[in-house]
Amino acid sequence: MIKKFLDLGRQPITNAYLTENDLSDEFLFHLSVGFDEETKLVSLMEFVKPQMMFNDTYAHRASMSATMRESFTEIALSIKQQFKPAKVLEIGSNDGVFIKNFNKDEIVALEPCGNLAEMTKQMGYETYPYFWNTEIAKKIIKNHGKMDIVYSANTLCHIEDLKGVFEALNIVLNDSGVLIFEDPSLYDLLRNTSYDQFYDEHAHLFSVIALKDILSKSNFEIFKVENLATHGGSNRIYAKKTSTHSIKIDKSVEQNIQKELDFEMDKMTAYDNFAQRVKTSKDDLISLLTGLKRQGKKIISYGATYKSTTIFNYCRIGTDLIDYITDTTPNKQGKLSPGSHIPIISPEEGFNDSVDYAFLGAWNFYKEIMNKETEFINRGGKFITHVPHVKVL
């Protein structure tokens, strides 16, 4: 039985950065999250149609941060060294930040957002501009043969039909092939009260407990779990087909499951407790921002993230509290944030001496931002975060 534990209210499409003309017919849906007591999977209670989220105007560029560029280069090199694959498929190739580490004849990309697929095509990589399913898996093996490695970052948790996802992976992967995918860790999310990881695109937030069960039903077995610092804590899952006996199961699998069981992630109480902390986080953030505003301080937000859309809409934060948002992504600049309608401008324009406080919408790049913004910090500028609890840094 699926039990709802978190209600984040009416929310927009997080990728729908708006112009003034779009304001009148903005799409909103009810964002609430549930825990399936049987499968232990955490998912949205209401799913948004994929075509509404992943289309030809997709804004997020994975290569916008040095942290992610480094992370993708590192895993690409590690895959080459460890597995020496002849053929690799990446599902959700975004702007090519991962595939660019491979030769053009070694890798095939799949990316449903037309504008992004065009970018990797222009770079010379074979790119299929489709959603992942069994049909496209069959087409890919017809054109390229079976894959030795399938890699996917921050994509599989975006897909509602997980049975279909793994069925298609079974088709495309060699019997001795390896599936490697990484998505935000539910364990880290719960511990950090980073409820902003819940938004339209994140159909599911994975625990290793739930994944083990889902994968085994599709003839896959997890053989290694790596805990990553990226995106506020992610898990990189390595899985093989159950029929492949040559790969040993690493102790990290049981260790991660035990860690999650110790945190009682197989029980409803962990989620109910989390929901209480989310309420406190909301109250604390509103009260901090309101207090600072009363003192006449100028507060902006740093990074027009999809995550911060959840926060601003759940906490009902608008231009009354946040003057504007700065973001390095050119196609977000000049737009308004979804739902909260806060203007987004470039850091060159907005991150200047007039700013007293900057809320870290991109809190997951904390280290990168702190290293970069020494001038702001040295002149007394302050960052605000809500992770793991609301505070001025």
Under rule CB under 6 A, residue 185 binds ligand DWN: no
Q: Specify the residue, 154 or 385, whose C-beta has the smaller distance to ligand DWN.
A: 154
Query: Within positions 208 to 237, which residues make up the interface with ligand DWN, using CB under 6 A?
Result: 231
Under rule CB under 6 A, residue 304 binds ligand DWN: yes
Query: Which of 40, 60, 87, 241 is close enough to bind ligand DWN by CB under 6 A?
Result: 60
Q: Specify the residue, 63 or 176, whose C-beta has the smaller distance to ligand DWN.
A: 63
Under rule CB under 6 A, residue 327 binds ligand DWN: yes
The secondary structure element, H or E, covering residue 203 is none
Query: Within positions 97 to 156, which residues make up the interface with ligand DWN, using CB under 6 A?
Result: 154
Stretch that binds ligand DWN, among 18-26, 57-65, 215-223, 271-279 (CB under 6 A): 57-65
Distance CA 363, CA 38 (A): 33
Query: Which of 192, 305, 310, 340 is close enough to bind ligand DWN by CB under 6 A?
Result: 305
SS3 118: helix
Distance CA 186, CA 208 (A): 9
| Distant-in-sequence contacts of 17-25, Cβ < 8 A, 24+ apart | 17/59, 17/304, 17/331, 17/332, 17/335, 17/336, 17/337, 17/338, 17/344, 18/335, 18/336, 18/337, 18/338, 18/341, 19/335, 19/336, 20/336, 23/336, 23/341
Q: Specify the residue, 116 or 209, whose C-beta has the smaller distance to ligand DWN.
A: 116
Count Cβ atoms within 10 A of the Cβ of residue 370 and give its class: 0-12 exposed, 13-18 middle, 19 or more buried.
middle
Under rule CB under 6 A, residue 328 binds ligand DWN: yes
Query: Which of 50, 85, 177, 303 is close enough to bind ligand DWN by CB under 6 A?
Result: 303
In this structure, what DSSP letter does residue 98 have? T
Under rule CB under 6 A, residue 306 binds ligand DWN: yes
Under rule CB under 6 A, residue 364 binds ligand DWN: yes
Task: Judge contact between 356 and 298, C-beta under 8 A.
Answer: yes
CA-to-CA separations, 351 to 368, 373, 393, in angstroms, rounded: 16, 10, 17
- Give the residue at shortest CB distance from ligand DWN: 303
Q: Specify the residue, 150 or 253, whose C-beta has the smaller distance to ligand DWN.
A: 150
Percent helix, strand, coil in the chain, to 5, is: 40, 25, 35
Q: Specify the residue, 87 or 332, whose C-beta has the smaller distance to ligand DWN.
A: 332
Q: C-beta of 174: minimal distance to ligand DWN in Å?
A: 27
What is the binding site for ligand DWN (CB under 6 A)? Answer: 60, 64-65, 154, 201, 231, 303-307, 327-329, 332, 362, 364-365, 368-369, 372
